Amino acid sequence: MAEYTHGLRIEKHRLTLPLVWGAKSDLRMIDVFARVITRRDGEDLPYLVYLQGGPGSEAPRPGDGNPSWLKTALERYRVVMIDQRGTGLSTPVGDELLEMSVSEATEYATHLRADSIVRDCEAFRELLGVDQWSLLGQSFGGFCTTHYLSRFPDSIAHAYFTGGLPAVGRSADEIYALTYEKMAEKSRQYFRWYPDDAERMQQLHDLAFDGELRLPNGDAVSPSMLKSLGHLLGMSNGAERLHWLLEHDPWSNAFRHDLHDTLPFHLRNPLYLILHESSMADGVRTAWAAARVRPEEFDEDPLLLTGEHLMPEWFDELPAWRPWSDVANALADVDWPKLYDENALRLSGARGAAAVYYGDVYVPLEHSMETAELLPNVSAWVTNEYEHDGLRSSNGKVLRHLFELAHGERLR
């Protein structure tokens, strides 16, 4: 049965799938939910699967102008939006995971990575009865797309990446080391743009050091957590958002509430906390890589802000996070299987296009271009016009450009 909203036709699907793909003796099952979105009844267009960023976030909910690129996608495709396993309506992971033992919860979470997400996608492809479909991978969704090309290349007509060509064959240490370099550049650029904010950030750092910088619930924000506001600098309007936050009196309700909402990690999506580093693990153990490779200058200089760098001590500092500490530490000690196969990628014949953002602080240019070399038929478009959220912030321009590149059309 279809639903209709804002001129869109939305068809819902729910599959009950194995928690552990390929394990015949493991009978645990989960639900995985997807929406198929078209402009009208009976529209016979090919399918495009949107694989969102994360990990740990559900697909966007389609509505009036949301997401901003959807209208452009629907000109060529029926769009499939899957709530990746553990999120949204797909047997979501929440506090009930903590009712398991640490070993049980850790083992459960290991089955929620890109490799399992891709197997779920294959089940939906078979449900829809199509031999091939195309993929649009944003950020972590691009990591999923790259694994898809490593494992099931014949299922993919075109692959589109937006800020999502991952590092292949690189350690988590190497990836995070490079992202710190990018964040140092962004931090210095920010304080050149807003020199008065340097004094404000120093004041906040001093308050945090003294345990006086607090969230609305009274929890103290440590200096290292304060620095994580730098994650804003990787987005299109992030510098302005940080500047507007720093305008507020740090003792005001407005500042405390805005600070809480602006910090990058929250318990609404606990998978983002406990599985974030695993998304960088291509056959390695992460062992809290972002914390281990953090340069000393970031500890010494309050004006060097961090990005998507999770610190293990935050699980002890914030009371609401403490129940997740043991599971997070256990997952940091997992020897993760490889996600990408360089030879398979070279042989995949993958066609498509990738937006590679020149200043991307989350998925660095250098590693993305190494991966682009493995996919010669995926046109890499390097641009400094957009930040990591270019798919969303460009109102369809980035996606349209990728379509034109991939299909050899005259660029507008």
Band (411; pLDDT cuts 50, 70, 90): low
Band (196; pLDDT cuts 50, 70, 90): very high
Residues annotated as part of the active site: 139, 335, 388
Token pair belonging to 97: 């995971």
Residues of the chain with CATH 3.40.50.1820: 2-169+340-406
Span 302-316, average pLDDT: 97
Token pair belonging to 114: 């890109």
Report in angstroms the alpha-carbon separations of 180 from 48, 164, 259, 295, 297: 34, 18, 22, 8, 10
Token pair belonging to 17: 């799938």
DSSP 199-255: HHHHHHHHHHHTT--B-TTSPBPPHHHHHGGGGGGGSTTHHHHHHHHHHS-TTSHHH
Question: What pLDDT does 410 receive?
Answer: 66
Give the position of tokens 């998507």. 308
Band (412; pLDDT cuts 50, 70, 90): low
What is the 8-class DSSP label of residue 63? B
Structure confidence by residue, pLDDT tens digits, 354-410: 999 999 999 999 999 999 999 999 999 999 999 999 999 999 999 999 999 999 886
Instruction: Answer yes or no: is pLDDT of 252 > 80.
Output: yes
Q: Is 163 in a helix, a strand, or coil?
A: coil
Instruction: Answer yes or no: is pLDDT of 1 > 80.
Output: no
Band (6; pLDDT cuts 50, 70, 90): confident
Span 250-266, average pLDDT: 95
Q: Are 113 and 146 in contact (CB under 8 A)?
A: no
- Using CB atoms within 10 Å of the CB of residue 285, give its burial: 0 to 12 exposed, 13 to 18 middle, 19+ buried: middle
Span 29-56, average pLDDT: 94
Instruction: Answer yes or no: is pLDDT of 64 > 90.
Output: no
CATH 3.40.50.1820 is the classification of domain 2-169+340-406? yes
Least confident of 59-63, 304-308, 368-372: 59-63
Query: Could you give the CA distance from residue 87 to residue 112 in angstroms, rounded to a whole number?
Result: 10
Structure confidence by residue, pLDDT tens digits, 330-355: 999 999 999 999 999 999 999 999 99
Band (43; pLDDT cuts 50, 70, 90): confident
- Virtual torsion, Cα 41, 45, 46, 52, nearest 10 deg: -60
Question: What pLDDT does 83 receive?
Answer: 98
pTM across the whole model: 0.96
Give me Rg for the CA atoms of the chain. 21
